[in-house]
């Protein structure tokens, strides 16, 4: 039983599906099934029960799941500590971005990571705010930006990047303007907004409840640019984020009918369980100085006194960074993202490649043993 089988066991237990676990682990379904069977054979226990809807943990599997999760956490801590000792920053950093997240913050983060840590592979995945939260929770994302209309879940550590409000909009001339608005007349029109969106969906339901209406037709669109186009074409009224709504109003495409009272926060989030990941790189006790002589070469006074070909990397001093007041909150999210990336481990998703690496190490160790005997 190895660490990859443990990861597969935990993924299948959390997803309750071989198919979803294989997609999450980027493995084939036969490979996932083989990992599960190998664990069951090694332990002499049945870990899952197959049902028409997927798989469920047996009583024995339930008892082992928590220990497997703790073992994986300990493995991550060990690899993180090795990364700190080596003073190297490599690996894959997976960032989620909600479909309507602040693009300026996302772009600035990607530019910062590319400039400071070129060896880190950054993967940006777009989805809904729910997709981002779920990805951070189950470990398929390291961090992400999402829209939060209420309070964040307790397992998330967050930094507020920006905020906005939701506007009810319509094509010019579609709705007769009055004070107050004729909400019953609005209820006879089609409403266009992403029902899967927490912010727009909650705003719509609060408006329906407050004014005792229920639209005869709701058109669910998961992209804000499509919503804007449909509303501008006179299909119905719609809900848009503040920036999009005001930009369309300035171009004469839409009229703003109503502004929601509640504010929506754009948050940068990561799992609280990763709060102990390294927060400085390289650590003072582990600063890396380039090797000043070839491996195995005799030590000389010149080699001992050589300072190396470059200085250890360091963080820029605060005086070297100039930010405007409006950028400061956004920079906090970017800094948190960089801190998250410093806990990354080298990722090799190919088990065959890992097996080859292990075989090469074993062969090298055997050669060292034979040389010592001679």
Per-position DSSP letters for 260-284, written without gaps between them: -SS-EEEEEEEEGGGTTS--SSS-G
pLDDT given for residue 250 in this prediction: 95
Range(s) of the chain covered by CATH 1.10.10.10:
3-86
Q: Let me know if domain 3-86 sits in CATH 3.30.450.40.
A: no
**Which DSSP state fits 285?**
G
CA distance 207 to 188: 14
The SS3 of residue 327 is: helix
Pinpoint the alpha helices (H) of 190-345.
198-211, 224-232, 242-250, 301-305, 328-341
pLDDT given for residue 327 in this prediction: 54
> How many CB atoms within 10 Å of residue 201?
16
Please provide the distance, in angstroms rounded to a whole number, between the alpha carbons at the two ends of the chain. 35
Q: Averaged over 238-247, what is the pLDDT? A: 92
The SS3 of residue 63 is: helix
Tally the residues of the chain.
Answer: 374
Structurally, what CATH architecture does the domain formed by 89-163+264-284+327-348 represent? Answer: 3-Layer(aba) Sandwich (3.40)
pLDDT given for residue 350 in this prediction: 43
Least confident of 177-186, 227-236, 300-309, 318-327: 300-309
pLDDT given for residue 348 in this prediction: 40
Extract the tokens encoding 74.
Answer: 């300990």
User: Angle formed by the axes of helices 18-25 and 3-15, to 10°?
Assistant: 130
pLDDT given for residue 231 in this prediction: 95
74 phi/psi in degrees, rounded to 5 = -65, -35
Q: Averaged over 178-205, what is the pLDDT? A: 86
- On the question of a cis peptide bond just before residue 186, with omega within 30 degrees of 0, the verdict is no
Extract the tokens encoding 352.
Answer: 């065959």
343 phi/psi in degrees, rounded to 5 = -95, 10
The SS3 of residue 193 is: coil
Q: Given its phi and psi angles, is residue 87 left (phi above 0), alpha (psi -120 to 50 degrees) or beta?
A: left
Range(s) of the chain covered by CATH 3.40.190.10:
89-163+264-284+327-348, 166-262
CA distance 281 to 194: 41
CA distance 236 to 229: 11
Least confident of 58-62, 297-301, 362-366: 297-301
Extract the tokens encoding 287.
Answer: 């600063």
CA distance 62 to 67: 10
Is pTM beyond 0.85? Reply is no
Report the mean per-residue pLDDT for the chain: 76
pLDDT given for residue 283 in this prediction: 29
pLDDT given for residue 78 in this prediction: 82
Q: Averaged over 90-113, what is the pLDDT? A: 81
**Secondary structure percentages of the chain, helix, strand, coil, to 5:** 50, 20, 35
Res. 23 pLDDT band, cuts 50 70 90: confident
Q: Which residue has the tokens 């639209």?
A: 215
Contact 89, 314 (CB under 8 A): no
Contact 228, 244 (CB under 8 A): yes
Contact 257, 96 (CB under 8 A): no
Contact 100, 147 (CB under 8 A): yes
What CATH number should be reported for the domain whose range is 166-262? 3.40.190.10
Half-sphere exposure (Cβ direction) of 201: Cα atoms closer than 13 Å: 14
Res. 323 pLDDT band, cuts 50 70 90: very low
Q: Averaged over 111-129, what is the pLDDT? A: 83
């Amino acid at each position: 039983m190895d660490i990859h089988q443990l990861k597969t066991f935990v993924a299948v237990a959390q997803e309750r599906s071989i198919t979803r676990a294989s997609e999450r682990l980027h493995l084939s379904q036969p490979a996932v099934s083989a990992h599960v069977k190998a664990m069951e054979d090694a332990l002499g226990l049945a870990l899952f029960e197959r049902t028409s809807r997927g798989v469920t943990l047996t009583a024995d599997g339930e008892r082992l799941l928590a220990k497997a999760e703790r073992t994986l956490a300990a493995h991550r801590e060990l690899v993180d500590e090795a990364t700190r000792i080596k003073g190297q920053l490599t690996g894959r950093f997976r960032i989620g971005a909600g479909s309507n997240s602040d693009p300026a913050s996302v772009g600035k983060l990607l530019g910062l990571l590319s400039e400071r840590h070129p060896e880190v592979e950054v993967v940006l995945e777009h989805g809904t705010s729910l997709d981002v939260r779920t990805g951070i929770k189950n470990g398929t994302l390291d961090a992400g930006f999402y829209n939060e209309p209420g309070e964040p879940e307790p397992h998330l550590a967050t930094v507020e990047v920006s905020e906005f409000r939701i506007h009810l909009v319509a094509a010019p001339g579609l709705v007769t303007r009055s004070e107050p608005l004729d909400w019953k007349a609005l209820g006879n029109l089609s409403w266009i907004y992403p029902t899967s969106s927490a912010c727009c969906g909650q705003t719509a339901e609060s408006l329906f409840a407050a004014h005792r209406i229920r639209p005869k037709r709701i058109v669910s669109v998961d992209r804000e640019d499509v919503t804007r186009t449909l509303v501008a074409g006179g299909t119905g009224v719609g809900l848009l984020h503040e920036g999009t709504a005001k930009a369309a109003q300035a171009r004469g495409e839409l009229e703003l009918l109503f502004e929601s009272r509640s504010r929506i926060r754009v948050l940068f989030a990561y799992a609280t369980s990763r709060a102990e990941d390294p927060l400085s790189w390289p650590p003072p006790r582990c600063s890396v100085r380039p090797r000043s002589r070839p491996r195995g070469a005799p030590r000389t006074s010149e080699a001992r006194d050589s300072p190396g070909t470059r200085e250890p990397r360091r963080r820029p001093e605060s005086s070297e960074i100039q930010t405007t007041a409006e950028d400061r909150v956004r920079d906090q999210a970017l800094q948190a993202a960089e801190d998250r990336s410093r806990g990354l481990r080298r990722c090799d998703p190919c088990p065959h490649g890992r097996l080859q690496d292990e075989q090469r190490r074993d062969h090298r160790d055997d050669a060292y043993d034979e040389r010592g005997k001679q």
